[in-house]
Structure 1
């Protein structure tokens, strides 16, 4: 006999080895509209950024990459700060 995974309030109980053995791969149980390839993004609701290509000095790139992942976001933030401080004229 299988036990329910949730109680009446929706609280999920701890999974047992039996629960895990009964699990099926996601691609067998997900509806087609939720299936995506690894790394594939879903449709954006409203694009907030514009894809562009820009040539920057090696020292600028090295500086921002030193902080690890998110270096492009940090460049974007630095440029936004520049606009706030110097205006958009």
Structure 2
């Protein structure tokens, strides 16, 4: 078996243990520090909606995700330029296409 076994409990045993946590062990906000206040259901749902809206390509994008093998030296050079390296690599390829149009 691969990996490390960190829990000897079965899934059913874990679920039972979670269901049996006493109410007194639940978090109770003291009303003092607003940063410790639990989020309301509406706030949690708004956060989920906001994250889901950011996932994937923006509407109208003409990009396609692919798997591409490049030399390690090329990859390291682009990554070394920092955030946005994939966009810069795309720009270099577009420039090459302009100069080498068929």
TM-score range, shorter chain: 0.5 to 0.7
Residue 82 (structure 1) aligns with: 96
Alignment correspondent of 2:49: 35
Higher relative contact order (CA closer than 8 Å, sequence separation 6+) = 1
Note the C-alpha offset of 1:44.
Answer: 3.3
For each residue in 1:17-57, what CA deviation from the matched residue of structure 2 results, as whole angstroms up to 9, or x when unmatched? xxxx7xxx58625986x824479527732232011110000
CA RMSD between the two structures: 3.3
Give 5+ residue unaligned stretches, structure 2.
1-33
Is 1:48 the counterpart of 2:38? The answer is no
SS at match of 2:86: helix
1:51-70 deviation line (CA, Å, top 9, x unaligned): 11100000000110111111
Q: How many residues align?
A: 65
Structure 2 equivalent of residue 13 of structure 1: none
Structure 1, unmatched stretches of 5+, are 1-20
**Bigger Cα Rg:** 2
Please state if 1:68 is matched with 2:82: yes
Q: TM-score, normalised by structure 2?
A: 0.48
The alpha-carbon distance between structure 1 residues 27 and 70, as it changes in their structure 2 partners (threshold 3 A), is farther
Please list every run of at least 4 consecutive aligned residues from structure 1 whose deviation after the TM superposition is greater than 3 angstroms: 29-32, 36-40
Deviates further, 44-53 or 71-80: 44-53
Structure with the bigger percentage of helix: 2
